A and B are shown apart, each in its own frame.
Chain A
Amino acid sequence: MRRPSTLFGLLLALLIVSAGPGLARADAPHKILIADPFIELHTGPGRGYPVFHVIERGREVTIVKRRTDWFELRTDRGVQGWAPREQMIATLEPTGEPLDLQEPARENYMSRRWQAGVAGGDFAGASMISLFGGYAFSDNLSIELTFNHIIGEFSNSYSATLGLMHVFVPEWRLSPYFTLGTGVIHTEPKATLVQSLDRDDQIGYVGGGLQFYLTRRFMLRSEYRNNVIFTSRDDNEEVDEWKYLGFAFFF
C-alpha cells in the first residue's frame, strides 16, 4: 500500500493548494446595475433550480462568481443567487456601459492562438487515446504536439509527434486541414506473448482532417494520418491512424 498513500498525499496537497486561493480571495467586488425591469435569482446555476428572489431595475448587485453561463449575484441585502447569461447581457457597469462578459465567441475563434484537446480512435486496428496541443503562428498555420496511447491486442505503444497543421479556410465553421510531421513511437509487446524486445522507432506522418466550431470556445475534430514507421528491420511499416472524434478548446 505504499504507492496509494503517496498518490493520496499528492491529491491532498493539490486540494489544499487549489482551495487556498478560493478561501483567501479578496478582490475588489465587481458591482453592476440591473437594467432589465427585473432579474430572477435561481437557487443554483441551472434552469432546473427554482427562482426564489427578484431584483428590480436600478439596484446595484455584486458578481460573486461565474459557472458556465450562470452568474452568482449578491444584493446589498445579502441575498445570493444565480442569474443566467441572457439576463446579464442587459446589466450595466457602474460607469453606465453594458457589462462586458469577455465571451470567447466566434470572433475570438479567428484570433485564437492556443488549442488543446483529446481524441479517441484507431491505430492499425488498436485502440488509441490521443492528447494534443497546438500554437497558431497565423490564422492558417499552427504547430501541434500530439501524444498517443495505443492499446493493442499484441502490443502497447506510446507515440509523441510534432507537426505543422494548415487550416485551409479558418473563417469557415467546418474547415478542412492538412498536417505533416514527425515523432517517435515506443512499442512494448504484451506480457502474455513470447518475449520480444521493446523498441523505439522514428515515425513520420501526413494527414488531413476536419475541424468544426461548436460553441463558445469548443471545437470538434476528426483526423486521418498515414504514418510511416522507420523500423530497424528491412521494411518500413505503413500504418493508418484514424481519430474518429476529438474534442478541443481554444484559449
Chain B
Amino acid sequence: MEVSGLRLLFLIALAATTLPGCALFRRGEAQLPPASTEQTAAEPVTGEPSDKPIIDPQVERREIKRTRIDTEDFEVGAYVGVLSIEDFESNVVYGARLAYHLTEDFFLEATAGQSRAGRTSYENLSGSADLLTDSERDYTYYALSAGWNALPGEIFLGKNRAYNTAFYLVAGIGNTKFAGDDRFTVSGGFGYRILPADWIAVHFDVRDHVYDIDLLGEKKIVNNLEAHLGLSIFF
C-alpha cells in the first residue's frame, strides 16, 4: 500500500494547488457586472422607443470666469484741414471728433474745431480799414450731427490687402463763434472712412457750415466749406 499512499499524497497535493486556482478565476469573473446582458434583454426590440439619447453629448464643463465682451461703439479722434471762411480767406482748421455708433447704419457725432480768419479783399485793398479786431478773427465751432453709412465697402490695395471703408452722409446743428458773436449753424456734408485695422480709422471729410451774419449791416447767409483729414480710434 505504499504505492497507493504515495498516489494519494500526490492527488492531495494536485487538488490543493489546482482547486483554489479555479476558485480565484471564478472570483474574478463574479466581480464583473452582469449588467450588459441584462440591459440588452430589457431593451424592447419593437414598440415605444426609449427617451434616452442614443449619443450622450459630452459637453465638457469647465470653471470659467465670464469676461465682458469688449464693446467698441465709441470713436474719438482729431483732424486737420482747410476751412474757407466766406470773405475771409481759407485757413488751417484743427478739430476733435467724438462719435457713437448706434447701429451698423447710423451714428451720432460731436465735432469741435478752431480756425482763424484772414483778411478780406476789401481790407487788403484799402490798406488799414480793418473790419475785425485781432480777437474777432478767431473762429471756433461745434456741431452735433447724425450720420448715415450710405455705402459700406472695401478698398483693395495690391493683391493681398483689403480694407473696410464707408462713405457716409452727415447733417447736424451747432454753433459758430466768429467776429465776436455766436451764430446758430446748420452743417452737413459727407465723409469717407478707411479702417487700416478694426480699431483705427482714417477719415476724409467735407462739410459745409451755413449761418446768418450781419457783419456789414445787412444780414446774409454764408457757406463755409471745410475739408479735413482725420484719425480716430474706436474704444
Residues of chain A whose beta carbon lies under 8 Å from any beta carbon of chain B? 1, 3-4, 7-8, 11-12, 14-15, 18-19, 21-22, 25, 27-31, 43-50, 63-72, 93-96, 100-102, 118, 120, 126-127, 129, 149, 151, 156, 190-192, 216, 218, 247
- Asked if A65 meets B233 with Cβ closer than 8 Å, knowing A11-B96, A43-B154, A44-B164, the reply is no
- Asked if A49 meets B152 with Cβ closer than 8 Å, knowing A3-B138, A68-B104, the reply is yes
B69, B105, B174: the one within 8 Å of A66 (CB): B69
- Which residues from B are CB-within-8-Å of A4? 92, 94, 114-116
Q: Are A94 and B181 in contact (CB under 8 A)?
A: no
One digit per residue, 1 when the CB lies within 8 angstroms of any chain A CB and 0 when it does not, for chain B 160-190 equals: 0010101000000111000111111000000
Q: Are A18 and B235 in contact (CB under 8 A)?
A: yes
B61 adjacent to chain A (CB < 8 Å): yes
- Which residues from A are CB-within-8-Å of B122? none
Q: Name the residue on B nearest A63 (C-beta).
A: B69
Q: Name the residue on B nearest A67 (C-beta).
A: B72
**CA A191 – CA B182 in complex, angstroms?**
10
Min CB–CB distance B167 → chain A (angstroms):
11
DSSP majority for the A interface? Answer: mixed
DSSP majority for the B interface? Answer: strand
Q: Are B59 and A96 in contact (CB under 8 A)?
A: yes
Q: Are A95 and B70 in contact (CB under 8 A)?
A: no
Among residues 20 to 49 in chain B, which have CB atoms less than 8 Å away from a CB atom of chain A?
Answer: none
- Which residues from A are CB-within-8-Å of B116? 1, 4
Min CB–CB distance A30 → chain B (angstroms):
4
Q: Are A7 and B96 in contact (CB under 8 A)?
A: yes
A-B CB contact pairs (8 Å), 7 listed: A11-B96, A30-B67, A68-B104, A72-B198, A96-B61, A129-B175, A247-B108
B76 adjacent to chain A (CB < 8 Å): yes
B231 adjacent to chain A (CB < 8 Å): yes
One digit per residue, 1 when the CB lies within 8 angstroms of any chain A CB and 0 when it does not, for chain B 124-167 equals: 00000000000000100000100001011110000000101010
